[in-house]
Amino acid sequence: MSTRTSPVPARTTLAFALITVAALGLTACAGGEPATAPAGAPGVPGAAKGALPTEDVAAGVRKNEAAAGLLPADVRQRGSFAVAASVGTPPSSAYLPDGRTVVGVDADFTAAVAKALGLEAKREAVGFEAILPALGSGKYDVGTGNFGVTEERRKTIDFVTYVNDGQGFAARADSPLKEITDLTQLCGLRVAVDAGTTFERTLEKNKGRCAEAGKKPYGIDVYNQTGAVWMALRQGRSDVVMSTINGLRYAVTQQKGMKFLNEYRRLDVGFAFKKGTPLAPAFEAAVNGLKADGTYDRILRKWGVTGSGIERSRISPPEIPAPKK
């Protein structure tokens, strides 16, 4: 059975949060529009090993008239779109030391698409679990949070893809684990994940495999804050972390005694919308326009995720198949 662990107090989470990417004394970064940090959000304490890039990669983006022409009339008239943004783990997203400014891959793509469409992106920081349900209410036009495209989500959500990331594993450096290619390798271990993610769903869906193999089941430790996930690993309450490939690769460079194990599966990642949104064609055209003018590649290079590039943006493509093991 899965185990849901209550989140630790915010001050403790802050001390252990891995989100050190923005704590480098920087004052500006492309796509860094202000956004109010939710209560208990992981912070950006301490000094990091590497400098956060400062290039404003969206500065030179010009309006894409063809893409803007695909916008619904009401959106063109209001001149903006509302973004519900999950802020948690670099390089996808993180707060600068001011606790308000959001930076990362998601922020840069949001800013660049907004410029291409001639719109203002009005962003609000929202908890990851709340974003997809909130899109149906009409309060937000789009959600960002490294949302992987899955068949389950496609039933109620439309996506416009912009990168390819996916699922991976990390552990303490002293762990005997080398890589996880079959989920039965987790049997008898405890795996820490963020709540409401594809990682939690993947583990829940496959938890019967251990019994089928005659092994002790793995435990699933679910946390509402990314910092708490890493604290559980550091303190030995969990044996493995399952999270985004890019996030894990970054995190292990910022924390002593941690190692990236391996990629498990890839997923397309996209802007999320209410099912049937009329905004999707315009966003798709805008992202593909960014690929044509070079902005797309500049964003990926800036954050060191060139391996996450996609050939073209698509609207709700099929889920990339999971490994058979």
- The tens digit of pLDDT for each residue in 104-143 reads 999 999 999 999 999 999 999 998 889 999 998 889 999 9
Are 164 and 308 in contact by the 8 Å Cβ rule? The answer is: yes
* pLDDT tier for residue 226 given thresholds of 50, 70 and 90: confident
| Banded pLDDT at 55 (limits 50, 70, 90) | confident
Give, in order, the Cα–Cα distances in Å from 306 to each of 105, 190, 244, 288: 11, 32, 15, 16
Residue 28 has pLDDT above 60, yes or no: no
pLDDT in tens, 60-98: 999 999 999 999 999 999 999 999 999 877 899 988 777
User: What confidence category does residue 99 fall into, taking pLDDT thresholds of 50, 70 and 90?
Assistant: confident
Buried b (16+ CB within 10 A) or exposed e, 87-110: bbbbbbbbbbeeeebbbbbbbbbb
pLDDT at 53: 65
The structure tokens 């315009």 sit at 282
State residue 89's pLDDT score. 78
Reply yes or no on whether the pLDDT at 26 is more than 80: no
Average pLDDT over residues 205-216: 94
Structure confidence at residue 225 (pLDDT): 82
What pLDDT sits at residue 108? Answer: 96
**What pLDDT is stored for residue 227 in this prediction?**
86
| Residue 52 pLDDT | 61
Label residue 36 by pLDDT band (50, 70, 90).
very low
Backbone angles phi, psi at 289, to 5 degrees: -65, -35
> What would the pLDDT profile of 254-291 be if each residue is shown by its tens digit?
889 999 999 999 999 999 999 999 999 999 999 999 99
Cβ(247)–Cβ(254) under 8 Å? no
